[in-house]
Amino acid sequence: MKKITSEWLKSASYDLLLIEEIKFKETLTHIAAFHAQQAIEKSLKAILEEKGVEIPKIHKLKTLFAITGMSFENDNEELMVKMLDSLYIEARYPGDMGLLPEGKPSVDDILKFYEFAQSIMNRVKGVDRIKKTP
């Protein structure tokens, strides 16, 4: 694995670590959602880095999944990506604070986002194209 690939994955793990610390704090759910999105984005960009593909300056997870060739394992994953993509920009700035259509993410939402982000990072770490690169 390339050193830069490891750095992307390490950065993603820091996002997950932060979520671990704040996941039960109702007032910080928008921040936790943002970091779940970031962990997934960085994990997907690790694949691109390892493959020698120029990293696009985009944050849309659905697009990154398509570029990497990584597929959703089920409809729920696709829904999670749609939700996280909708939260991304709003979670970074005052105002709506990263709202889902039904309002601010709940702690239950965060637990799902966290589990999903962990599973994506673990899948990326297990991808043969990552492990077998000299």
What does each C-alpha distance from 45 to 21, 40, 109 come to in angstroms?
Answer: 24, 9, 24
pLDDT band at 89 (very low <50, low <70, confident <90, very high): low
Question: What stretches of 18-57 adopt beta strand conformation (E)?
Answer: none
Amino acid type, 94:
P
In tens, the pLDDT along 24-75 reads 999 999 889 989 999 999 999 999 999 999 999 999 999 999 999 998 999 9
Report how far residue 19's alpha carbon sits from residue 108's, in angstroms, rounded to the nearest whole number.
13
**pLDDT at residue 130, as a whole number:** 53
Domains of the chain: 3-131 (1.20.120.330)
- Express each pLDDT in 7-30 by its tens digit: 999 999 999 999 999 999 999 998
Residue 131 has a pLDDT of 47
**Choice among 28-37, 47-56, 82-91, 118-127 with the minimum mean pLDDT:** 82-91
3-state helix, strand, coil in the chain (%, to 5): 70, 0, 25
